[in-house]
């Protein structure tokens, strides 16, 4: 075996070839130059051995890195810097054997400090030859990369974790290098894109995309690469699966720029198979269409039923009215023809029969009005409420000229709605005001609209009997009354009709009152949700 | 004296109408048919015999065999009979009935009153109807 002692080697002591002259001169001129240069490279430990791998020189950084002083280590085998596992496998000797045969050898591995701690190092070994080419020993340069490795490991670990998380949800990840025009694909992304692995360009991927989707995807991809898609793009398209069938995938792409311009440096993205999701979406759409169809069908059934009910109400009321009419008319006939034959009590009974039939007639009429108001197709045009109210007031005055009622109607009150229904509503409200002021010698009835910030609030105000606000909730129920019938006649349907009309106009109705101090009815139109 | 043809299957209503007319001292000669078919037979045989036709036909809507609306349409489409004024006289206030009757050419649409007193208005309408009757 060759033995050499580098420390004692003097370049000048060897015969020089002409070509080596300059280098040799430099050594001679500044004997410490290289040593100083290497010592100042604190990141690199410089170690030399003889051919038996015994350490022949030990730089300052080497001492700092491994914890041995020169005295402690010189003459020992360099193997003491290797881990027991590596020594057992002969890696230490192999390294130098390789360096010898190949001229150099570098690698990364664990080394051991004097205190037993391990360092992850980059190492470069090469043989040290004399001028004649004879091997004098070896040089090993070592850089401690432990902290970088720790960082790398952490990064790799987190990347791995991310990859696992992504792959476990079936999500593939990809990274497009805009300059190199190549994709780096995760395992899952490669499968979804139908690629053998990373390194392919867009052309390789677009080849797998369904022909009908190619143009769209190419356009989107090119716009992303050109930097037009500032926030990234989500795309859905079909791509050929290994079995030859197309599957739907969704890719999301986010551009990454280096800050020098709009063109991204990289585009990062994900890809996921959404075939199943789309199938479910389609099923849901079918389901909702089915539901819609069912709702339509039921609505039609309901409307038919409603119509049937309405026509039943009409014919029932017709059939009810006929016998009623006969009862009252024949009672009248008896009263007229046999006045002398009837006792006053009997005459009174017949009069009560007639009054009862009149009342029942009115109930039937109101019942019909109520259904009519609910069923009539709604128009929406401009209605001159002031004019309508004036006409109603004229009718009321003509109907009872003995009353002293001041009717004040604000000019120019208009509303959009169904004029016929709004007329019925106003008539009922004004009728009511007229009726409930009947027991006051003088009365005042007012119609108008209050306009503050919001939509107008129409009102009908009187100074009549009013009502107890505790029962206000019963005002608008059909056939419900707040006053005894012998005081104020009526079926109790009028306000029910008004309420239905207002409700059909998506409005709101309410009232304010105090007993014997009048009542005000307010309503709005088209203010409530459908 | 006016001649009227009253077409109504309800004998009570026929009697009430006659009572109402009497109360209002409406001097008229009232023939009664109990359905549309009977009315048509009466009118056409009168026409054939060159006997005088009624001054007005007063007809109910709901009747067996030929109902009021059908009778109305037949009267108004028959050149021999279309000159006779027709008043529909019914208890139905159904909008569809009213519009259909007027469409078919009814000259009046009258509701059967619940009180004998209200026959005054009915008689007034019938009198008007007769006075403006179109020539045969």
Residues of chain A scoring pLDDT < 50: 1-27, 29
Candidates A313, A325, A361, A377: best to mutate against B (most CBs of B within 10 A) is A325
Decide if A318 and B92 are in contact by the 8 Å CB cutoff: yes
**Beta strands A118-129 and A135-144: pairing type?**
antiparallel
ipTM over 0.90: no
Which two three-digit tokens encode residue A289?
């269409």
Determine the pLDDT at residue A7.
42
Determine the pLDDT at residue A406.
93
Find chain A residues with C-beta within 8 A of B116's C-beta.
Answer: 329, 332-333, 336
Closest approach of A369 to chain B, Cα-based (Å)? 11
| A321 part of contact set with chain B, CB < 8 Å | yes
| A384 part of contact set with chain B, CB < 8 Å | no
Closest approach of A504 to chain B, Cα-based (Å)? 21
Backbone angles phi, psi at A147, to 5 degrees: -70, -35
How far is A192 from A466, CA to CA, in rounded Å?
Answer: 78
Find chain A residues with C-beta within 8 A of B114's C-beta.
Answer: 321, 324-325, 328-329, 357-358, 361
Find chain A residues with C-beta within 8 A of B19's C-beta.
Answer: 329, 333
Distances (CA, A) of A217 to A184, A198, A238, A275: 19, 20, 10, 17
Decide if A330 and B10 are in contact by the 8 Å CB cutoff: no
Long-range contacts of B80-83 (CB under 8 A, 24+ apart): B80/B44, B80/B47, B81/B43, B81/B44, B81/B47, B81/B53, B83/B53, B83/B133, B83/B134, B83/B135, B83/B136
Residue A222: count other Cβ atoms within 10 Å of its Cβ.
Answer: 12
pTM for the whole structure:
0.46
Determine the pLDDT at residue A485.
64
Determine the pLDDT at residue A339.
59
Residues of chain B scoring pLDDT < 50: 134-136
Decide if B91 and A321 are in contact by the 8 Å CB cutoff: yes
| B115 part of contact set with chain A, CB < 8 Å | yes
| A314 part of contact set with chain B, CB < 8 Å | yes
Decide if A329 and B114 are in contact by the 8 Å CB cutoff: yes
Q: How many contacts, defined by CB atoms under 8 Å, are there between A and B?
A: 45
Compare all CA atoms of chain B with the CA of A351 and give the residue at the minimum distance.
B115
Backbone angles phi, psi at A349, to 5 degrees: -60, -45
| A361 part of contact set with chain B, CB < 8 Å | yes
Decide if B91 and A318 are in contact by the 8 Å CB cutoff: yes
Closest approach of A320 to chain B, Cα-based (Å)? 10
Note whether A417 and A423 are within 8 A (CB): no
First to last CA, chain A: 103
| B51 part of contact set with chain A, CB < 8 Å | no
Residues 6+ apart with CB under 8 A from A173: A162, A163, A166, A185, A186, A188, A189, A268, A269, A270, A271
pLDDT tens digits along A372-427: 787 788 889 999 999 999 999 999 998 888 888 999 999 999 999 999 999 999 99
Determine the pLDDT at residue B33.
94
């Amino acid at each position: 075996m060759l033995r050499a002692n580098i420390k004692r080697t003097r370049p000048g002591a060897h015969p020089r070839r002409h070509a080596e002259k300059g280098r040799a001169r430099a050594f001679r001129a500044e004997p410490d130059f290289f040593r100083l240069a290497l010592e100042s490279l604190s990141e690199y430990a410089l170690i030399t051995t003889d051919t038996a791998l015994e350490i022949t020189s030990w730089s300052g950084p080497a001492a700092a890195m491994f914890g041995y002083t020169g005295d402690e280590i010189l003459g020992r085998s360099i193997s003491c810097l290797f881990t027991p596992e590596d020594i057992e496998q002969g890696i230490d000797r192999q390294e130098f054997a390789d360096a010898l045969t190949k001229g150099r050898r570098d690698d990364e591995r664990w080394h051991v400090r004097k205190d037993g701690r391990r360092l992850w190092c980059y190492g470069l070994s090469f043989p040290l030859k004399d001028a004649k080419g004879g091997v004098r020993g070896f040089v090993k340069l070592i850089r401690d990369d432990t902290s970088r490795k720790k960082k790398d490991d952490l990064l790799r670990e987190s990347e791995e974790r991310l990859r696992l998380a992504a792959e476990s949800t079936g999500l593939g990840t990809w990274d497009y290098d805009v300059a190199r025009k190549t994709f780096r694909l995760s395992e899952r992304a490669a499968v979804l894109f139908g690629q053998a692995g990373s390194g392919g360009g867009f052309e390789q991927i677009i080849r797998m995309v369904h022909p009908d989707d190619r143009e769209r995807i190419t356009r989107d991809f090119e716009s992303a690469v050109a930097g037009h898609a500032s926030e990234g793009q989500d795309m859905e398209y079909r791509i050929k699966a290994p079995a030859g069938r197309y599957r739907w995938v969704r890719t999301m792409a986010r551009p990454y720029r280096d800050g020098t311009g709009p063109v991204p440096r990289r585009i990062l993205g994900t890809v996921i198979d959404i075939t199943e999701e789309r199938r479910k979406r389609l099923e849901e759409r079918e389901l909702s269409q089915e539901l819609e169809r069912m709702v339509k069908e039921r609505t039609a059934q309901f409307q038919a039923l409603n119509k049937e009910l309405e026509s039943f109400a009409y014919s029932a009321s017709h059939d009810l009215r006929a016998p009623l009419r006969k009862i009252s008319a024949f009672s009248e006939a008896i009263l007229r023809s046999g006045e002398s034959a009837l006792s006053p009590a009997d005459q009174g009974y017949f009069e009560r029969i007639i009054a009862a039939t009149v009342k029942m007639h009115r109930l039937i009429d109101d019942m019909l009005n109520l259904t009519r108001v609910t069923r009539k197709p709604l128009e929406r045009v401009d209605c001159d409420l002031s004019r309508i109210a004036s006409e109603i007031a004229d009718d009321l005055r003509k109907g009872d000229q003995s009353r002293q009622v001041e009717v004040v109607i604000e000019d120019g009150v208009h509303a959009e709605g169904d004029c016929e229904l709004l007329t019925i509503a106003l008539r009922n409200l004004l009728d009511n005001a007229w009726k409930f002021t009947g027991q006051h010698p003088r009365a005042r009835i007012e119609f108008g609209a209050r306009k503050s910030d919001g939509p107008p609030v129409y009102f009908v105000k009187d100074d009549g009997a009013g009502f107890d606000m505790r029962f206000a909730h019963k005002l608008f129920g059909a056939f419900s009354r707040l006053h005894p019938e012998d005081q104020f006649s009526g079926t109790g349907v009028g306000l029910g009709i008004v309420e239905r009309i207002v409700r059909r106009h998506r409005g709101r109705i309410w009232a304010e009152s105090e007993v014997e101090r009048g009542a005000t009815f307010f309503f709005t139109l088209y203010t409530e949700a459908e | 004296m006016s001649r009227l043809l009253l077409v109504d299957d309800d004998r009570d209503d026929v009697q009430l109408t006659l009572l109402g007319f009497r109360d209002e001292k409406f001097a008229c000669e009232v023939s009664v048919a109990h359905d549309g078919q009977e009315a048509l037979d009466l009118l056409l045989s009168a026409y054939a015999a060159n006997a005088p036709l009624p001054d007005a036909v007063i007809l109910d809507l709901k009747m067996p065999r030929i109902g009021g609306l059908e009778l109305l349409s037949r009267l108004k489409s028959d050149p021999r009979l279309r000159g006779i004024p027709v008043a529909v006289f019914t208890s139905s206030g159904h909008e569809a009935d009213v519009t259909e009757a007027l469409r078919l050419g009814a000259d009046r649409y009258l509701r059967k009153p619940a009180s004998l007193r209200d026959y005054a208005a009915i008689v007034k309408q019938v009198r008007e109807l007769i006075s403006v009757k179109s020539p045969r």
